[in-house]
Structure 1
Amino acid sequence: MAANYLQSLDWQNQPDILRHIITFCSKGKSLDLLANFYVACAQVEIDEFQNYDKAFGALTEASRCLSKVTAPKDPNQHHRATEIVQQRLTAVKRFIDIKRLFERGDVQSGMTQCRQLLMTGGKDLEAAVRRGDIYAVMIQTCIKNEIFEVGRQLFNELKQILDPSTNAITYYLSKDVIEALATGLGLTVNDLLPVKFVENESEKEDDVIEEVVE
């Protein structure tokens, strides 16, 4: 009960609460609950911080917890949970390895493996590795290596898989990255993104100015 309550608190920003949750679950031998918590930690690392290394660490801990459950209350559910965690571990590890290829300067292999991951990841890929993050890594690599036309193609593909009614693309690509791509192509940001995006960005800046003035 205590662990459940603590999970409802702001454990993402308070390390003490995080440690207490792990301690409660461990002492109470609630390994399945602790595994679920580690999975939640992994998701936060991906959704909030795009930190796949930490997500991999959390998923590894979740897998260890599940492996220690000797007599699960529901064997089928436990087996399914183990499969899901393992699938996510595999996908996250693959993405981390791809990013390391780019870091080593192996652009062609990195691009090829990104494409393979997008094509073979299946419907469950998004739960482990967000497609937007895969495209973001490829686009950033194109900018770094001045392969701007390929970057533009990837940028357009990213726009197509996102909800057109939102500005979700800015969730994956920073303003600086978008501007760098536009500059490399000899374009303006308006040429890459709808006017609606530019208007919304201006509104955000105005709101910030108003808040400061107040």
Structure 2
Amino acid sequence: MNLALKSTPSVMINAAEYLDEKGAHEKAATLYMKGGKLSKAVDMCFAAQLFDVLGQIADDLSAGGDPVLFMRCAEFFMSNGHYDKAVKMTVAAGRHTQALELAVQHEVPIDEEMAEAMTPPKGSMPDPERNTVLQQIAKVAKRQGAWQLAAKKFTQAGEKVKAMKALLRSGDREKIVFFTGVSRNKEVYLMAANYLQTLDWHTNPEIMKNIITFYTKAGAMDSLAMFYESCAQIEVDEFRNYEQALQALNEALKYLKKSNSEEAQAKATQIQSQIEIVETFVAAKAMVISQPQQALQMCEQLLLSIVDDSQSGVRVGDVFAIMVEYWYQQENAVEAYKLLEQMRARGVDVAPYVDGRMVEDIHAMVGMPMPTEMAGAPDSPEYGAAQAQQYTAQEGYVDDEIEEEV
């Protein structure tokens, strides 16, 4: 056999006939295949149940061969439970729809190689029919959880939105961003931006930039404004950075003014009110050293005007904290203690806003015991490190290229 495989096709056939007579059917079938007598090789495989050899023959059969032979192989594989090979043979016979039906019926996984084999070449049929086949392949891949393969086939069929939906299920951020960038489709831009908001964008400036870019290209001014509002809220809740929050609120207002939606005007009014309150608070923080009396008056006015932290943009606890810290530094424990009591009376938890050691000192100086609420106060090194954490988006919220495009 080794010598025959190195010889001419005629020698291979002669050797195959000899081996067949000797009962070496597997070797004979292989030589018949190599010698060009595929039908004879296939018949031998059928007769002797040579699945491995028939599998090798099936692998070597090229597209464009005899469809009848392909289907004979497919039927043989089907009858013996080799469904993956049956699907491959059906594809080779040019029966793409039937191959898909077999794959679905017998749960045969479709990998990229098989999907490419199932894909009709361009020009082999009218485009609408070809696109239908591509979508069928994509749907099967989607049902099997092959999200990226499904996205590829939907894209080839011209269905960018369906492709994006499949790609989002994959969770591959880099591929999602790349596909969105080349899609030039407003709905895809919007879907991508919405998805990216579910990620940890506030610690990753690149994700933040993509969100802003995609909302901008989608023309989704309301969504962009809501995103900036979320930025402002995170700056306040996690970093107590009201200067950065103010910048984000101004961006939100700017995009609301560009919106044509019915809700935009009411939302713009609310954001404008928040901006005014935050501006007052930021100014008070800046003046507390140089003009303390005026800063304290501004804080007192804020305490009167703030009803709901989430609606005002400024947390009541942060306003109290400025005042408590000022009186503590002035060594006026009585005034500082009064403010702590006002915080508690207003239902504000002191611990997240005022350093635990400072609270202990104030209580000690006025001779009052520490309340139980201060157990576990944030006076540990870990708390101090968290408070000192800096936001990573050092370039702020506005990208020059995006600003120019808007």
TM-score (normalizing by structure 1): 0.80
Matches of 1:197 and 1:90, distance apart in 2: 33
Partner of 1:154: 339
The correspondence for 2:352, drawn from 168, 171, 178, is 171
* Identity value in percent: 31
The correspondence for 1:137, drawn from 310, 319, 322, is 322
The amino acid that maps onto 1:22 is I
2:327/2:335 contact within 8 Å kept? yes
Partner of 1:63: 253
1:25/1:31 contact within 8 Å kept? yes
Query: Given the alignment of the two structures, is residue 91 of structure 1 paired with residue 277 of structure 2, yes or no?
Result: yes
- State the shift of 1:14 in Å: 1.3
The amino acid that maps onto 1:179 is E
Mean Cα displacement is larger for which, 107-116 or 172-181?
172-181
The correspondence for 2:362, drawn from 181, 204, 208, is 181
Gaps of 5+ in 2: 1-190, 382-406
1:162/1:169 contact within 8 Å kept? no
- State the shift of 1:140 in Å: 0.5
Superimposed CA distance per residue, residues 35-80 of structure 1 (whole angstroms, 9 cap, x where no aligned partner): 00000000001111111100000001111111222x32xx2x1111
Q: Count residues in correspondence.
A: 188
User: Larger radius of gyration, structure 1 or 2?
Assistant: 2
Greater share of residues in helix = 1
Query: Given the alignment of the two structures, is residue 20 of structure 1 paired with residue 224 of structure 2, yes or no?
Result: no
Matches of 1:22 and 1:177, distance apart in 2: 41
- State the shift of 1:125 in Å: 5.2
The amino acid that maps onto 1:197 is M
The amino acid that maps onto 1:171 is P
1:95/1:129 contact within 8 Å kept? yes
1:91/1:125 contact within 8 Å kept? no
The correspondence for 2:265, drawn from 67, 76, 79, is 79
The amino acid that maps onto 1:192 is M
1:39/1:59 contact within 8 Å kept? yes
The amino acid that maps onto 1:90 is E
The correspondence for 2:224, drawn from 21, 28, 34, is 34
2:242/2:278 contact within 8 Å kept? yes
Root-mean-square deviation (CA), in Å?
2.1
Higher relative contact order at CA 8 Å, sep ≥6: structure 1 or structure 2? 1
Gaps of 5+ in 1: 206-214
Q: Secondary structure of the equivalent of 1:8?
A: coil
The amino acid that maps onto 2:355 is S
Matches of 1:107 and 1:88, distance apart in 2: 23
1:7/1:21 contact within 8 Å kept? yes
